[in-house]
Every structure is written in structure tokens, then in C-alpha cells.
Amino acid sequence: MSKLRVAGIGFTAVTALALAACSSNDSASSGSSSSAPAPAPSSSMSAPMSSAASGDGVTTNADVFGPACSQLPQGGAPGSLDSMGPQPVASAASTNPLLTKLVAAVKATNLVDTLNSQQAITVFAPADPAFQALGDAKFTELAGKPDQLAPILQYHVVGKRYDAKGLEAAKSVESLNTAGGPVKIEGSGENMTVNGAKVLCGNIPTKNATVFVIDKVLTPGTNKN
């Protein structure tokens, strides 16, 4: 399994993000997002080896839920459930019309191959309006500074594959940005939240990940004591 390596990340890497902007009015959000400066993650992080039995956390098209799922292309068109299912997660996301900003961020940090090579992960994927809340200028700035953006993206990836029921049972999961603190799961079904972010389309199956499209960019450090 690949390791996610992010060199030279210090406290300034994340405090500079000013993700308080994510608590501004979000066209895809109905709640407010807490934000706090995130501590720097370790310079090397990787998903722990999954020992889950086959099918654990794996979903099918029939399991997908949420108000934004209807915005996905239908049939076998690029970005549809049928199209994304056989592809590894970063490749699948690149065709998803809800995730163009996330895909740009992943490419900017050179994490495409890393995400695609993971064996069994969960991805909390902010929809485009979540990134737009930062403003175009801030997003462009971050995209040009991958050492600042990478730990934020890592905080959206869990090194174990969960479906919605698994997340509900776990209540709290640890991301690949271990220094960022736990990711808190509350509610269930269409009322599920991830660190307060609403699930817009959950249980999306891809070859190596289960994806939950959410309405906010998660802030590392939010749930640390």
C-alpha cells in the first residue's frame, strides 16, 4: 500500500488556510461549520492495512442516498454510478460533476496515484460549493501551495472502508491526517453529518473506496481536545 508523504509541513501550513471561510453561507450547506487552525500532520502518513473481509464497507448503486445523488449523470455516462463503480476513487471522482474543485485540488497535490492505489478507504468529498465558499482567489492560492493543501485533503480520507451504517456505528473515525484529530460522525441516513458537514450523496461505490459527498471542507483540529 502506498504511503502519503508530505514533506516540510509546519504549523503555518494549516493555519494559513483560514478555513473559517467555510462557515460562510454555502449554497449546498444548511449548517455552520466550525473551524480551527489545524496542527501539522506528520511528514509521512499511510492508510493502515485493511483486514476487513470482502464486502465490508463496500456498497452498490442501490445503497446510494442523499439529495444530490440525482445530479449525477445517468446510465453509463461519465460520472454516473455505473461509470464510477469500476474505477479507482481519484479516477472516478474526475468524472463526477459534483467534485470538479476537489479533483483540481487532488491533482495540484499529486495525490491521484496515491489515492488510486489504496486498497480500501473512505473518502469524504466536499462538493464544489464547499470549495467555492473559500473564494476563487483563496482556492487558487492553495492550489499553488500543495504543502498547505495536502494535509487538508488527507483529513478527508479514512484508511478503512466504511459504508453509512459502518460510520454510524463507529461514531468517530481517524483520517490519514492523524494529527488532525478524529472525524466525528453524527446522525444516520440522510441526516448523517461528518464533523457537522451534511452528506449530500453517500455510499457511492468505487473500485477501492466508498465515497460520501459532503457540503463543507473539513477542518483538521476541530475535534481535538
* Domain boundaries of the chain, sorted by first residue: 3-214
Instruction: Return d(Cα 58, Cα 203) in angstroms, integer.
Output: 8
The residue with greater pLDDT, 175 or 17, is 175
Instruction: Return d(Cα 206, Cα 221) in angstroms, integer.
Output: 28
- Using only C-alpha atoms, the chain has a radius of gyration, in whole angstroms, of 16
Instruction: Name the pLDDT band for 128 (thresholds 50, 70, 90).
Output: very high
Q: What Cα–Cα distance (Å) separates residue 192 from each residue in 66, 79, 144, 163, 203? A: 10, 23, 33, 12, 12
Q: What global pTM score does this model have? A: 0.75
Which fold, 3-214? FAS1 domain (2.30.180)
Q: Does residue 163 surpass a pLDDT of 90?
A: yes
Instruction: Return d(Cα 106, Cα 86) in angstroms, integer.
Output: 20
CB 28 within 8 A of CB 40: no
Instruction: Return d(Cα 121, Cα 221) in angstroms, integer.
Output: 21
Q: Does residue 202 surpass a pLDDT of 60?
A: yes
